[in-house]
Structure 1
Amino acid sequence: MKFYPRVTPRLWERYIETFSGLSKEVWWLALITLINRAGTMVIPFLSIYLTEELHFEFKEVGTILSAFGVGSVVGSWLGGKLTDKLGYYKIMVFSLATSGLMFIGLQYLTTITALSLGIFFLMVVADMFRPAMFVALSAYSKPENKTRSVTLIRLAINLGFSAGPALGGLIITTLSYSGLFWVDGITCILATLLLTRVLHPKKTKVQDEILVQNPISVYKDFPFIIFFFAMLLFGIIFLQYFSTVPIYYRRAHSLSEFEIGLLMGFNGFFIFLFEMPLIAWLDKSKFKKVNLIVFGAALTSLSFLILNSTSWVGIAIIGMLFMTIGEMIAFPFSNAFALQRAKKGNQGEYMALYSIAFSFSHIFGHNAGLRLVDYFGFDKTWVVMTALGGLCVLLLLVLKIYMTRNNA
């Protein structure tokens, strides 16, 4: 009985210490991200909404979600260019406010053409935010705190994501899908108002301002190009958890929207509890960033093989756990790797290409996954995703060898 009172405070103190030293601007950025992400509860249910509410076929849903990815590519590229020219603050304000209004209007589009165009333009505006936010994060963070700052932002995203799907499933069950679009839009607008109050340039302190006199083009940085393709493949398999996997939960295991929301909420809650201590420990270890990204990608790939191992419904939880741990390691260190490389050139351009890797994943990942399920079923689709994950790991190992040999 005396064991727990002695250990619990000590563990709590160590947990709190992992958050120390981060600037207040990073904390504000995390809060803005939390508010914004808590409302993005439409995204995990989008494939179900399109198939069951609007009665589209898998091929049609794949087409619509490809428009999602194309818009994301254009938005990330445009956001990076404009961030380098106009600064991150103006781009973040415009993106949040405008995408909020567009989310509300999306619910009134019901045809394939209208939805494809609507989602395309929504993502152009919404994903302008990502490179701008990454550059802001880099500016507000001391060099030694960048990985933990990235982790804090991810923690905010996943805290919002853990509550969002569960609340989204409850809204669908008690009200309708329409409420989700309203919540998405309103939270984006609220996040904009907070941003203008607390992160205005006149009120903030830049801690790591990087001015490169002769910046190199990101497209001439060969190691970063290898990294880009590895992240593209990682994004394709990871994004299955937002399109094909929710349908798998529903059709293979007969889970309700609320149960799917709880399962996906488990992902965010687990990350909220354990990611920052894990990353703080790994950041102080001797492991190189590329090695950690390899390990995270491998765990995520294995999560799909696990889904094929048995028809027991509990395997969904185990697969989600593998994916979650892989995600916890791969994303913070891949983001930190990109921020580190960005010091060689225009930061907006580098962080835009990093974002574009996942935007391309939206183009190919959702569409390919849904078509594979339609033609071959879930089991063979999970084998393909595992193979793509293996190719991702191989590319990262090539990157490691190249950087070691060329001191790049």
Structure 2
Amino acid sequence: MLVSLVSNPRIRRVVRETVGGLPRQFWWLWVSTLVNRLGSFVVTFLALYLTAERGYSPSYAGLVASLFGLGSAISAVGAGVLTDRIGRRPTLVAAQLGTAVSTAVLGFVDGQVAIAAVAFLVGLCNNATRPPTSAIIADLVPAEDRVRAYSLNYWAINIGFGLSAAAAGLIATHGYLTLFLLDALTTLVCAVVIFVRIPETKPQASPEHPADAAEPKTSLLAVLRDAPFMALVGLTLLVALLFQQGSTTLAVDMGASGITPTEYGLVIGLNGLLIVVLQIPLTRWMEGRSRTGLLISSCLLTGWGFGLAALAGSSAWLFALSVGVWTVGEILHTPVMMGLIAELAPTHARGRYQGVYSLSWSLASLLGPAGGGLLLQYAGPAALWLACGAVGTVAALGYVALARRTGAAGRRTGAVTEVAAPAAAPAAEVEKAPAGA
């Protein structure tokens, strides 16, 4: 049966259209991403480690996660600037080496202040990998294949995440220190792969490409003044606040409800598994559909998917249903946002744009765990999960308002900037003039 599937012309064509024609260096980056996420145990299990293993309060676990997010927020912008100035490869290798060392140290430190300080360093180094990775993909891959490449990289992230989350729950039963050390080791392997196999890809001015030298320089302030882009960053922040609950307050609530680390690993691993299975079929289904409609649906599914956790009690199956619903929201949201950011980011400022976009996720990792931890501790799980539904609804309304505003601007100026423009599938979407995890 497997042989017949492989030999099926339609399946071969789909596979070829999905993975074919991409540069060899991209696949080394893809392998590096996969290995890194296969070992990404610490962030997923940090809240559970602090509360169940160390005995700290949910609010302290939220504070540590927020300090991790503070480091991520600082590095998002800083790494974006460094990516454009000193190059993609040195920024990425330095970030991965720093992540490996700080993650290993986090497994050994004791005391609330020390744990919080090292968690900040882990966040600082870990998130610095995002802007150079996105820029490398944009540099290596032709414009017509770029969004497909981003989707494949995102796919690798979720393959690794799904497997690591399930495995980490089993490993944690034998001691959390092993999680920290394995995470550090896989990150170190990734740094070596990047250093050996990925060349510096930063575009350089040359006689063959004189336009590179003539490109205007885009300052960080200019990026912040790009109103349509910053509106998307703000709405992404709201959605990202919801996703942060999946690795922080969800773990704490499930632990308090009697769910074991193994069960939590399997439940949260469902997120990555569903993305791996459903991403390509759903993104093909999304082709030609309204961006606004897809973004609204994704916000509502995400918000009220988390809202379903209010009904879960001590049932791992109901928690799994909740994860399944908000995962569909994630699948709908990510490809559309990738296309929008690709349209808005100029070639010569890819690092800065990717850094500022990454800032929305970093700020969410700073604000989300702290806010969620406080709500969980002082208002209870029902209030927390219903608040998630409300945030998802607000984000959906924000996309409606943005679509109307950009639509009106497009009618006045003749520019095609509507959020509601038809969305293309990642396998076929072509980047517009100058154009990410």
Structure 1 CA distance for aligned equivalents of residues 7 and 320 of structure 2: 27
Aligned to 2:414: none
Does structure 2 retain, via aligned residues, the 8 Å contact 1:293–1:331?
A: no
- Of residues 244, 266, 271, the one that matches 2:270 is 266
Q: Quote the residue 2:233 is aligned against.
A: 228
Whether 1:62 and 2:66 are equivalent positions in the alignment is no
Q: For residues 8 and 245 of structure 1, what CA distance do their matches in structure 2 show?
A: 43
Question: Which structure carries more helix by proportion?
Answer: 1
Q: Provide the rounded CA distance (Å) in 1 between the counterparts of 2:65 and 2:223.
A: 28
Which residue matches 2:322?
A: 319
**Runs of 4+ in structure 1 over 6 Å off:** none
Contact 1:289 1:333 in 2 (8 A): yes
After TM superposition, the structure 1 stretch with the greater mean CA deviation from structure 2, 312-321 or 32-41, is: 312-321
After superposition, residues 56-205 of structure 1 pair within 5 angstroms as 56-173=56-173, 175-201=174-200
**Match of 1:364?**
367
Deviations 1:87-130 (A, max 9, x none): 11110111112211111111122222111111112221221111
Is the deviation greater in 222-231 or in 14-23? Answer: 14-23
TM-score by length of 2: 0.85
**Deviation at 1:15?**
4.4
What is the match of residue 304 of structure 1? 306
- Counterpart pick for 2:294 among 272, 284, 292: 292
Aligned to 1:378: 381
Q: CA deviation at 1:22?
A: 3.0
Equivalent residue runs for 1:332-371 within 5 Å: 332-343=335-346, 346-371=349-374
**How many residue pairs align between the two structures?**
400
Map Cα deviations across residues 12-38 of structure 1 (whole Å, 9 max, x no partner). 435413223333332221111111111
Instruction: Tell me how far 1:277 sits from its aligned partner.
Output: 3.6
Cα deviation digits, residues 165-214 of structure 1 (max 9, x gap):
121111111x2000011001100110111112221238x99xxx995425
Amino acid at match of 2:38: A
The one-letter code of the counterpart of 1:53 is E
Output the CA distance in 1 between the equivalents of 2:47 and 2:311. Answer: 25
Preserved CA contact (<8 Å) 2:267 2:316? no
Deviations 1:37-96 (A, max 9, x none): 111111111111001211111221122111111100011111011111111111011111
Gap change, CA 1:402 and 1:141, over 3 Å in 2:
farther
Q: Distance in 1 between matches of 2:83 and 2:129?
A: 9
Q: How does 1:28-67 map to 2 (within 5 A)?
A: 28-67=28-67
Matched residue of 2:56: which SS?
A: coil
Unaligned runs of 5+ in 1: none
Alpha-carbon distance between aligned partners in 2 of 1:99 and 1:297, rounded to the nearest angstrom: 31
CA RMSD of aligned residues (A): 2.6
Distance 2:312 2:193 in 1: 47
> 1:166·1:265 contact (CA, 8 Å) conserved in 2?
yes
Match of 1:401 in 2: 404
AA aligned to 1:263 is V
**Residues 27/291 of structure 1: CA separation in 2 closer, same or farther (3 Å cut):** farther
- Structure 2, unmatched stretches of 5+, are 411-416, 418-437
- Distance change in 2, residues 1:37/1:338 (3 Å): same
**Worse-superposed segment, 333-342 or 353-362:** 333-342
TM-score between the two structures when normalised by the length of structure 1: 0.91
Q: Equivalent pairs: percent with the same residue?
A: 25
Alignment partner, residue 329 of structure 1:
332
